[in-house]
Structure 1
Amino acid sequence: MTQQLSDITVGFIGYGAMAQAMAQGFVDAGVLEGSQMLACAGHYDKLVDTAAPLGVRPMHNATEVAAASDIVILAVKPNLIEQVVTPILHELANSIVVCVAWGWTFDRLESVLEDHTPHISIIPNTPIAVGQGVSVVEDKHNLTDYQAGLVRALLEPVSMLETVDTAHMSQAGTISSCAPAFTAMYIEALADAGVQYGLKRASAYRLAAKMVEGTGALQVSDGRLPAAMKDAVCSPGGATIRGVVALEQHGFRGDVISAVQAVEG
């Protein structure tokens, strides 16, 4: 844990899958102790159970969380943001507000917060739970350098930070935070094929998942073109190029693009 964060309290308003993934990542990476985090949610009894494994302190309402937190992470569903924020505007004005709700960019959130409330909008993804996340960060915010440094210190150990202009937050978020679902389907399909040919299910999952992890790491390491990575595996007349041709014939690339277009509407 950095000295910068040692005395910081982070509060989650909403403690669903994304908030829990963030909390897990913070604890496992040593960014925060569980006791440095507070959370509230719609169902207190369920919250007590989900907060217990990490030592996150359950609170009864958003007012308690906002009043006691240096950094407040708004993690409720997008359609609930305004009704959750409105009663606690004064408390939020004294905190750094990090909004992870889809579609709530700086200008939109600015319209419902009190003037001069420090806030920034990000779109994290669930691999943040294992320190391998991506956080898309809107380039427009009103944080001081010190406040922005706190947010970076919180997120950088558990995710790559990719700063994007407001107009492209949705598209970047689709690629980074929706695509884990698409990728999980790809892993499952590869594993199904392996099982068809006699591999044990657990082994097939490990092989497919680690392949995806390693391929991504290889591309990120030096920025090489994915096409070049594909070509490097495809020997003339070999097995891999036959598989590539089959994917092309069945519209693999187009299906992936269509999935992103469907999210974007």
Structure 2
Amino acid sequence: MEKIGFIGMGNMAQALCGGFIKSGKIEKSSIYAYAPNQKKLNENAKKFGFIPCESLKEVVRNSKTIIMACKPYQIEGVLAEIKGELNEKSLLSIALGWNFEKYSKFLDKSTRIQFIMPNTPAMVGEGVFLFEKTNSLSEDERKDVMDLFASLGVVEELSDNLMGIGGAITGCGPAFVDLLIEAYSDAAVKYGIPRAMAYKLVSQTVLGTAKLQLETGEHPGVLKDNVCSPAGSTIRGVTQLEKCGLRTACIQSIDAIMER
């Protein structure tokens, strides 16, 4: 891809920047970035090799594709300063709530827009990136952008009306999985396993189980049944989870998000 500019260089932007460079799909010298904290920006520039910019206008003028990676509440102020500079440019936004429709109210029609919802596992190359179906990128641009993000995980397109539930599952989901990891690790510690070892064993079990489902395509219920021997330990644990309402709790956690 041609020159990319980051507005904001927080954890997610760093994950994207580092992953893009590692993938070999873009050179360090083709990545520009601006962030208000210039000291931190320059430290990250040394770490990743991108070119730091001293202003919003500088990063936009040097880039063909802009990735909006600042906090959602900052975006109106950012656009007020640079919206004219974005004419004829591509804008990829990873800021929650700022979809195609919302940007269209602020920007010239010549700005090509794509809303993308990432999640934190992108930091280790195992992210999920949800691309909103409505966009104004050219066909070739969109293909290149999807290919670039696919270097850091799984890319899926969702219709506009499904971006909310998609984001609830993939964006909030890591926190729910972390709760399960912590809980089962606490159980391991309760029965004598050292804390660090407990986290390692549980996290690897989660990772391996997820990979097994993805690679085999088997229904999770089938994989669960494969572990549950008649009158065995696993089915006893499964029965207790059912008594405690695990499935209902999981569904209700998403209901709480969608009904907010």
What TM-score, normalized by structure 1, do the two folds share? 0.91
**1:121-145 Cα shifts (integer Å, max 9, x gaps):** 1101121122211101111111112
Q: State the superposition RMSD in angstroms.
A: 1.7
Change (3 A) 1:73 1:107: same
Find the counterpart in structure 2 of residue 113 from structure 1.
107
Task: Give % identity.
Answer: 38
Q: Paired residue for 2:51, among 53, 57, 63?
A: 57
Q: Paired residue for 2:165, among 159, 168, 171?
A: 171
Runs (4+) of structure 1 exceeding 6 A deviation are none
**1:193-227 Cα shifts (integer Å, max 9, x gaps):** 21222222222222211221222222222432212
Q: Paired residue for 2:136, among 128, 136, 142?
A: 142
Change (3 A) 1:194 1:32: farther
Find the counterpart in structure 2 of residue 202 from structure 1.
196
Structure 2, unmatched stretches of 5+, are none
Q: Paired residue for 1:254, among 213, 226, 248?
A: 248
Find the counterpart in structure 1 of residue 38 from structure 2.
44
Q: Distance in 2 between matches of 1:204 and 1:253?
A: 24
Structure 1, unmatched stretches of 5+, are none
- 1:39–1:58 contact (8 Å) kept in structure 2: yes
**1:128-185 Cα shifts (integer Å, max 9, x gaps):** 1222111011111111122112202211111211110001101101111211111122
Q: Paired residue for 2:237, among 230, 237, 243?
A: 243
Q: Does 1:223 align with 2:198?
A: no
Bigger mean CA deviation after superposition, 87-96 or 228-237: 87-96
AA matched with 2:104: E
Bigger mean CA deviation after superposition, 229-238 or 28-37: 28-37
AA matched with 1:242: R
- 1:21–1:127 contact (8 Å) kept in structure 2: no
What TM-score, normalized by structure 2, do the two folds share? 0.93
AA matched with 1:236: P
AA matched with 2:247: R
1:96 deviates by 1.3
1:116 deviates by 2.2
- 1:100–1:121 contact (8 Å) kept in structure 2: yes
Find the counterpart in structure 2 of residue 87 from structure 1.
81
Q: What secondary structure does 2:156 align onto?
A: strand
AA matched with 1:240: T
Q: What secondary structure does 1:120 align onto?
A: strand
Q: Distance in 2 between matches of 1:203 and 1:84?
A: 45
Aligned length: 259
